[in-house]
Structure 1
Amino acid sequence: MTAGSLPRRFAGRGGIGLTADVWGEASAPPLLLLHGGGQTRHAWDRTGPRLAALGWRVIAPDLRGHGTSEWSADGDYDLDLFADDVRALVAGLGERPVVVGASLGGLSALLAAGEPPRAVMRALVLVDVAHRPDGRGARRIVAFMRGRPDGFASVEEAAAAVSAYLPHRPSPDDPERLRKNLRRHGDRWVWHWDPRILDSFEGRIDPPGRAERVLAAARRAAVPLLLVRGGISDVVREDIAEEFCAEVPLARRVDVADAGHMVAGDRNDHFFDAIVPFLEEFT
């Protein structure tokens, strides 16, 4: 639990339980924060309270199979299930939200908004996700996630692995902050997500027809859209971002310098400054 947040339980597709942190007044306009694959709702620990202070009611759920949300009983983590969870979350809010989605969260939100039954949103922010990824960067993510199936002896060991994977990011001054993204398994620490997710991720890196499907959904969504790209991202190259915005009439783009794929974690202040002018159009 983050200071000022109120953990709540929401329902996704089929009633699956999704744990979320909630900040802000109940009467404020809703803003949904969706993390990326292999992350948890704590990816937004710094962003959520700051957005609430600007007058939003911020809801940051753990996606299915992540954090303290329920796992898929059958181990199925097809992209359509994540999109259906977004539809259920949006419907449960009772008011059209603005949605900010990173990577898997953004892709799920885009499909939910652009494919029937459409989730109605006021606006959508995509954080380093577009119609197609750079396969090398996407495979590097999966390789990291698969890299330690036996987990870690300590939180510090996990922090060292993250630092090696993200050399452009300063080493954490307090490795214990990483504990929220880990869970105990026997005498080891493992990542706080269902390992069966990886089987779905590997098949989703760039399957046939994905680019066309995502672009079609982005056009049909017909909502104001901001693409936030990490300036040094190895997943969404500059040419990919340019192509996406050229194909989607309502799309705008901003780059966050010195940020990789995990933009909010790499350069949180710069990320916040990049999205606030767009969000202010909908307050």
Structure 2
Amino acid sequence: MSNATTSQTVNDSVVCHYEGAHGNRLAASVYEAEGPPVLFFHGGGQTRHAWDTTARALQKAGRTAIAIDQRGHGDSEWVTDKAYAFDDFAADVASVARRIRRDYGIRPIVIGASLGGISSLSAQYESGQDLLKALVLVDVTPRMRRDGVDRILGFMSDRMEEGFVSLEEAADSIAAYLPNRSRPKSLSGLSKNLRLGDDGRYRWHWDPAFINGPRPVSTGRDNPEAYRSQAARALAIPTLLVRGRQSELVSEEHAEEFLKLVPHAKLADVSGAGHMVAGDRNDIFQAAILEFLETI
């Protein structure tokens, strides 16, 4: 077990905290097993619970799975300087990955979705290629559809301040945004992505400064696509791109471009899934991840 600060045991996992790049506390669920560690970093607006089902599958397969709440998300700290640029998230990935290497004596495999994928790609590049053992990018590539990005940010911003009067109202909002996904029978999972305010309203479980702060996620380099392409081209570790075939962000053309940048990379094109691949078709997603891990 990692020597990160342990707080409590929940179901099959231990809830603990790691330290981010700026001393910020990052909440984590650790699904301990005998095998090597696999780190999970979620997308913007999500929490570590997006990986619960997959993490348990890896634990059952003998892998230690560690799912992190990124800065400003879930149970992790809202950073006082409101620094939520991609470089800030990448610095946290590097900080946690180095901690994992010290604790377990091996470089971690990282699975990152969207924001988590971009951050992990940047962290590996800035480390001089010595940070990770392998990388799985979930529906994210150096170049993505701008209209898809805008649609996601628009959904996140829409009820950011106002919130919802109930979990049911939040579920209605998600159903309108994702009309092709079946509405869950239970709202218990949704409750993990919302926080109940003193005014009795539910709001998303992330810091609004992520969107509208002084250093929001939109803060970036002058030419982010060129930077990410350079980072991808430099990848020398085993790499898997998992794409939702109905993704609003990563087109077939974008996936092909990525495979040209990283010729040794593998592609899993998941039918019936959009950008939220793990949530849309977790069965296929899990199978692709476990198959890839068997090759490492």
Shorter-chain TM-score above 0.5: yes
Q: Which residue of 2 aligns with 1:61?
A: 68
Question: Do the aligned partners of 1:24 and 1:53 also contact (CA within 8 Å) in 2?
Answer: no
Residue 261 of structure 2, aligned match among 236, 247, 252: 247
Percent identity over the alignment is 47
Question: Do the aligned partners of 1:87 and 1:118 also contact (CA within 8 Å) in 2?
Answer: no
Give the secondary structure class of the aligned counterpart of 1:243.
helix
**Are 2:277 and 1:270 aligned?**
no
Question: Do the aligned partners of 1:114 and 1:219 also contact (CA within 8 Å) in 2?
Answer: no
Measured after TM superposition, the shift of residue 50 of structure 1 is 0.6
Q: Which residue of 1 aligns with 2:108?
A: 97
Separation (CA, whole Å) in 2 of partners of 1:257 and 1:30: 28
Separation (CA, whole Å) in 2 of partners of 1:195 and 1:124: 29
Q: Which residue of 1 aligns with 2:32?
A: 24
Give the secondary structure class of the aligned counterpart of 2:89.
helix
Separation (CA, whole Å) in 2 of partners of 1:257 and 1:203: 33
**Are 2:156 and 1:145 aligned?**
yes
**Are 2:240 and 1:220 aligned?**
no
Measured after TM superposition, the shift of residue 3 of structure 1 is 2.3
Measured after TM superposition, the shift of residue 20 of structure 1 is 0.3
Separation (CA, whole Å) in 1 of partners of 2:194 and 2:129: 34
Q: Which residue of 2 aligns with 1:201?
A: 217
Give the secondary structure class of the aligned counterpart of 2:217.
helix
Give the secondary structure class of the aligned counterpart of 1:58.
strand
Stretches of 4+ aligned residues off by more than 4 angstroms: none
Q: Summarize deviations over 1:220-264 as a string: whole Å, max 9, x none.
A: 231111100001001011101111111223222111001000100
Measured after TM superposition, the shift of residue 168 of structure 1 is 1.1
Measured after TM superposition, the shift of residue 9 of structure 1 is 0.6
Question: Do the aligned partners of 1:22 and 1:58 also contact (CA within 8 Å) in 2?
Answer: yes
- Provide TM-score, normalisation by structure 2: 0.91
Letter of the 2:208 partner, please give it: P
Question: Do the aligned partners of 1:22 and 1:60 also contact (CA within 8 Å) in 2?
Answer: yes
Measured after TM superposition, the shift of residue 118 of structure 1 is 4.8
Question: Do the aligned partners of 2:194 and 2:204 also contact (CA within 8 Å) in 1?
Answer: yes
Gaps of 5+ in 2: 1-8
- Provide TM-score, normalisation by structure 1: 0.95
Separation (CA, whole Å) in 2 of partners of 1:50 and 1:58: 9
Separation (CA, whole Å) in 2 of partners of 1:234 and 1:120: 30
Q: Summarize deviations over 1:152-200 as a string: whole Å, max 9, x none.
A: 0001111111111111110011023200111011210000000010132
Separation (CA, whole Å) in 2 of partners of 1:175 and 1:119: 41
